[in-house]
């Protein structure tokens, strides 16, 4: 049918610059379970390539219900994205 995948040129953006291990506390000790909603939330940031450039999305998810309880999208990867 003439279908083929899209090849992108260039590297994806660098999104993580890890600090020393002693500055990255694991506050939930890798235990991602909650018996009730609103007891434990986790957060993540991802990036999406669009026709006009990279877009960054931050999500906060309730561990018990697996529902997104907050999100923010921006064209930058600055601290305000995660804080908003």
Euclidean distance between CA atoms 4 and 64, whole angstroms: 40
For the question of whether the overall pTM of this predicted structure is more than 0.75, the answer is no
Higher pLDDT residue, 16 or 49?
49
Domain range annotation of the chain: 34-83
Nearest to 37 by CA among 2, 69, 12: 69
Tell me the mean pLDDT in the region 37-64: 92
Instruction: Provide the pLDDT for residue 60.
Output: 96
Tell me the mean pLDDT in the region 32-40: 92
**CA dihedral of residues 26, 28, 30, 35 (deg, nearest 10):** -170
**CA dihedral of residues 15, 20, 26, 27 (deg, nearest 10):** -100
pLDDT tens for each residue of 64-78 = 999 999 999 999 989
Q: Are 54 and 47 in contact (CB under 8 A)?
A: yes
């Amino acid at each position: 049918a003439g279908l083929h995948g899209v090849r992108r040129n260039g590297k994806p953006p660098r999104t993580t610059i890890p600090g020393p291990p002693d500055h990255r506390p694991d506050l939930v000790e890798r235990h991602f379970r909650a018996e009730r909603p609103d007891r434990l939330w986790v957060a993540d940031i991802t990036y999406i390539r669009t026709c006009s450039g990279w877009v960054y999305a931050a999500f906060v998810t309730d561990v018990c219900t697996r529902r997104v309880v907050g999100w923010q999208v921006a064209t930058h990867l600055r601290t305000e994205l995660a804080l908003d």
